[in-house]
């Protein structure tokens, strides 16, 4: 937009015809020849050369370069700038939208591939954790307790519950039932505390701590 301030609308009409003549010469003569001479020694395939030749002048760089004659005070410098400005606008608005279609016809774009899912194997031993499992027997006072009420030590989590052949991820409001099979993720440093907490609740219910139940292993 700033560079466009140098272009006078009153002058652009006179520069339109020269710009179209230069544009046709660039597109079908000058640019194909220059790309052929420069790219062929590097082994660029012909279809890619055609695409590069068709790409045209777009962006601010050609306009910036066209300001150099103005800065130097050369004759007809404004006409050079106006022609370049029109070329960039015309190539951008007319030729630019054809590039996706042409790239597909020439086969110069790689087909889209679905990114493969990256799955990593992380043994719990490597992260200092372990998995505990336990069944809630009939008569256990764990029955009727919500998962959030377990208040397990550390960062222990009830990750899965198997109930009547149905496996699901519990939330804090999930109420435990007799026959539930629990799978817990526990850090190694809190494993014994979690085991004692589960045994305590199974024996004395959600108020086990207040009732003095510590969940020690019975002898």
- Say if 118 falls within a structural domain: no
Which residues, including other chains, have CB under 8 Å from residue 69's CB and lie 6 or more apart?
76, 77, 80, 81
How large is the average pLDDT for residues 139-144? 91
Q: What is the C-alpha to C-alpha distance for residues 66 and 72, in angstroms, rounded to an integer?
A: 11
Q: Is 200 inside a domain boundary?
A: yes
CATH of residue 153's domain is 3.30.70.1450
Based on the fold, state whether residues 81 and 143 are members of the same structural domain.
Answer: no
Shared domain check, 189 and 135: yes
Residue 54 has which token pair?
A: 């068709």
pLDDT at 120: 54
Q: Which distant-in-sequence residues (6+ apart) come within 8 Å of 84 by Cβ?
A: 57, 62, 63, 65, 66
Cα distance from N-terminal residue to C-terminal residue, the chain: 85
Give me the domain span that covers residue 21: 3-106
pLDDT above 90 coverage of the chain, percent: 20
Measure the CA–CA gap between 173 and 179, rounded to whole angstroms: 18
Q: How far apart are CA 73 and CA 58, in angstroms?
A: 25
> pLDDT tens digit string along 33-56?
988 998 899 998 888 888 888 876
- How confident is the model at residue 122, as a pLDDT? 54
Nearest Cα neighbor of 208 from 158, 140, 161 is 140
Tens of pLDDT, residues 111-136: 655 555 554 555 667 778 888 888 99
Q: How far apart are CA 28 and CA 58, in angstroms?
A: 17
Total domain count for the chain?
2
Can you give the pTM of this predicted structure? 0.45
Asked, for residue 216, whether it belongs to a domain, the answer is no
CA distance 138 to 117: 43
Q: Residue 195 — φ and ψ, nearest 5°?
A: -60, -45
| 68-81 pLDDT tens trace | 887 788 888 888 88
């Amino acid at each position: 937009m700033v560079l466009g301030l140098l272009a006078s609308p009153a002058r652009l009409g006179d520069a339109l015809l020269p710009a179209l003549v230069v544009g046709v010469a660039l597109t079908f003569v000058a640019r194909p020849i220059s790309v052929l001479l420069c790219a062929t020694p590097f082994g660029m395939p012909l279809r890619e050369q055609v695409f590069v030749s068709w790409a045209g002048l777009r962006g601010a760089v050609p306009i910036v370069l066209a300001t150099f004659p103005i800065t130097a005070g050369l004759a007809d410098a404004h006409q050079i700038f106006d022609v370049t400005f029109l070329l960039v606008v015309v190539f951008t608005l007319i030729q630019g939208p054809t590039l996706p279609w042409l790239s597909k016809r020439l086969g110069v774009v790689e087909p889209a591939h679905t990114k493969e899912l990256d799955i990593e194997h992380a043994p719990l031993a490597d992260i200092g954790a372990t998995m505990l499992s336990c069944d809630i027997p009939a008569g256990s006072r764990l029955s009727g307790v919500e998962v959030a009420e377990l208040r397990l030590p550390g960062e222990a989590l009830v990750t899965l519950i198997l109930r009547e052949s149905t496996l699901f991820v519990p939330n804090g409001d999930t109420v435990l039932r007799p026959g539930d099979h629990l799978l817990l993720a526990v850090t190694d440093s809190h494993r014994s505390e979690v085991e004692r907490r589960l045994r305590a609740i199974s024996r004395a219910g959600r108020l086990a701590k207040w009732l003095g139940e510590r969940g020690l292993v019975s002898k």
